[in-house]
A and B are shown apart, each in its own frame.
Chain A
Amino acid sequence: MKTAIKVRNVNKSINARKILKDINFDIYEGEIVGLVGPNGAGKSTLLKIMTGLYSYDSGEIYYYEYNLKNDFEKAMSIIGTLIETPDLYKNLSGKTNLKLFKSMFKGISDETIKEIVQIVEMEKFLGKKFKTYSLGMKERLGIANALISKPKILILDEPTNGLDPRGIKNILDMLKSMKDTTILISSHMLNEIEALCDKVIFINNGSIIDIKHNNIKSHKKDVVFEVDDFSKARLLLDNYCINEELEVYESDDIISSLNKELIRNNINVYRIYENKNNLEKEFFNMVNNDKSN
């Protein structure tokens, strides 16, 4: 699998304060990767560096074979961005805004704009001035702007900020449908990240704490057994448990056989439930660990 985004030893200081420390990660072609961290962790700074809005002190960023510093124009021609709230030119109409941004890329036809506008369902509102749009409409036009060059890579910072549940669902569905596009998305909405991403990068205090593959999109499941004889059950499932509880992370077949094993050993299984809040748990673990340190 090709590496679409390669970040190596990126450091950034602002006013002698280290904002990012030795950031390293790879994102492979077609992957959807979430960037998660508390406020002030450095997520937005990292995304702004990756989109050329901020300079960086050291390190390298590659989009496919293009180095962001040395081949800026080539690198940016394969990227679409939506950084925080989409503030396009408020005195221009949606259509003029898109035309203005379209003119900055080579070989993009009016048909492409039409296609993208259809995807984001903005056909009816393109003639209106941007300043008259609701937040949801602005967000959709922002996404249309990000997609205008049919980018191979999308970098999105809080793309669902301020949207209602329907708006969030529409945008998530749209992102899910973009099969060949590599997406790096930062969001505080852990549920969206969990539902959307193949991989999650945890960032705190300017450093990457962990990079995890998302369980929900995996064929394995994180389940918890509730039984009458905990210590006996713990001994039986010891090789499978992922923590001090009766919690396992396995495929359906293995979970079923573990259940049979418990019953065979005269342990009453009251409940087996899926733990769906992995990411939330990880997030709070990260924040709490940071506080205790």
Chain B
Amino acid sequence: MINLIKNEFIKIRLSKIIFSQILLIITLLCIKRYGNKSILELSYNLIPIVSIIICILFGGIISNEIENGSFRYYLTKPYKRWKIYLSKMITIIIYITINILIITIVSSILNHSFDYKYILKFFIYSVPCYFIGFLILYLSLCFKNHAFSVGISIFIVTFSLIISQVFFGFKFNIIEYTFLPYLDFSIFNDNSIDIMNKNLGTNLSLKKGIIIDVLSMFILYFLGNKKFIKKDIKC
């Protein structure tokens, strides 16, 4: 399994990973320089950016390999399909975790303080990032063209809250039991969620968000794994 995970990182290429992380650090430095709040508070705004980077970097994690034919060789090696799927999932999880650690550590250094409560809170607020990781893996499996999976996932990350609000506006409150309103937990960081709940008649909460996102991750993983195991690799 470790070999498979190593292979995934080789395939993504180290230069891309480092570039994305440098980008995050530069953004943090800019926030520190020009932001009007503390760096720790502002760092939560980077979570959606991490989600978008995940979409771009991992959008082709399966579709690219099917599209360019390299899967014909990778899947004919002595590893069961579920192991290969799991290795891709773990790779994404590791990448997200490293990014979160980088943001929290750099933010703490810039703030000249080290507060484990902040790091814990940051990880909780990053649950949607992990969900996006599971979603992108599933979409990459469903679409032959990786541009589709990248495009759809970025659309979902960017507009999920707006789409949810439109549904809430039409009193279609069942949406609050889907992942759509819970792809950016920064809404729970101030009192804006209370205003939203009051105005739209909803009952959105961080706890509910975590439960729904985690459940959705399991469902996506289960469906994706099942599909991947049975998939005929036509390339």
B-binding residues in A (CB < 8 A)? 14, 48, 51-55, 72-77, 79, 81, 83-92, 96, 100-101, 103-105, 142, 145
Task: Mark out the residues of chain B between 1 and 47 whose CB falls within 8 Å of any chain A CB in the assembled complex.
Answer: 3-4, 6-7, 10-11, 13
Name the contact of A101 in the complex, choosing from B73, B230, B232 (C-beta under 8 A): B73
- A residues within 8 A CB of B80? 72-73
Name the contact of B70 in the complex, choosing from A48, A89, A104, A105 (C-beta under 8 A): A89
Given contacts A76-B78, A87-B68, A89-B11, contact A48 B73 (CB under 8 A): no
Name the contact of A53 in the complex, choosing from B3, B4, B7, B75 (C-beta under 8 A): B75
Q: Separation in Å of the A10 CB from the closest CB of chain B?
A: 14
Q: Separation in Å of the B141 CB from the closest CB of chain A?
A: 15
Q: Is the CB of A48 within 8 A of B233?
A: yes
Q: Is the CB of B72 within 8 A of A83?
A: yes
Q: Is the CB of A87 within 8 A of B69?
A: yes
- A residues within 8 A CB of B230? 55
- A residues within 8 A CB of B79? 73, 76, 104
The 8 nearest A-B residue pairs measured at CB: A87-B69, A77-B78, A104-B77, A76-B78, A73-B78, A81-B76, A53-B233, A103-B3
Given contacts A48-B232, A54-B232, A87-B68, contact A145 B78 (CB under 8 A): no
Q: Is the CB of A51 within 8 A of B10?
A: no
Name the contact of B232 in the complex, choosing from A53, A73, A79, A103 (C-beta under 8 A): A53
Q: Separation in Å of the B9 CB from the closest CB of chain A?
A: 11
Residue ID in chain B nearest A90 by CB atoms: B68
Complex Cα gap A249–B73 (Å): 42
A-binding residues in B (CB < 8 A)? 3-4, 6-7, 10-11, 13, 68-70, 72-80, 230, 232-233, 235
Complex Cα gap A56–B213 (Å): 35
Complex Cα gap A20–B76 (Å): 21
The CB with the most chain B CB atoms within 10 A, among A52, A96, A104, A142, is that of A104
- A residues within 8 A CB of B78? 72-77, 104-105
Known: A72-B80, A90-B68, A104-B77. 5 other contacts (CB 8 A): A73-B79, A74-B78, A87-B70, A90-B70, A100-B10
Q: Separation in Å of the B67 CB from the closest CB of chain A?
A: 10
Residue ID in chain B nearest A130 by CB atoms: B70
Can you list 25 A-B contacts (CB < 8 A)?
A14-B232, A48-B232, A48-B233, A53-B72, A53-B76, A53-B233, A54-B232, A72-B80, A73-B78, A73-B80, A75-B78, A77-B78, A83-B72, A84-B72, A87-B68, A87-B69, A87-B70, A87-B73, A88-B70, A89-B11, A100-B7, A104-B3, A104-B7, A105-B77, A142-B73
Q: Is the CB of A91 within 8 A of B13?
A: yes
Complex Cα gap A254–B136 (Å): 70
Complex Cα gap A76–B76 (Å): 7
Residue ID in chain A nearest B83 by CB atoms: A73
- B residues within 8 A CB of A72? 78, 80
Q: Is the CB of A88 within 8 A of B10?
A: no
Name the contact of A52 in the complex, choosing from B4, B10, B70, B76 (C-beta under 8 A): B76
Q: Separation in Å of the B231 CB from the closest CB of chain A?
A: 8
Q: Is the CB of B70 within 8 A of A55?
A: no
- A residues within 8 A CB of B4? 104
Residue ID in chain A nearest B84 by CB atoms: A104
Complex Cα gap A90–B70 (Å): 9
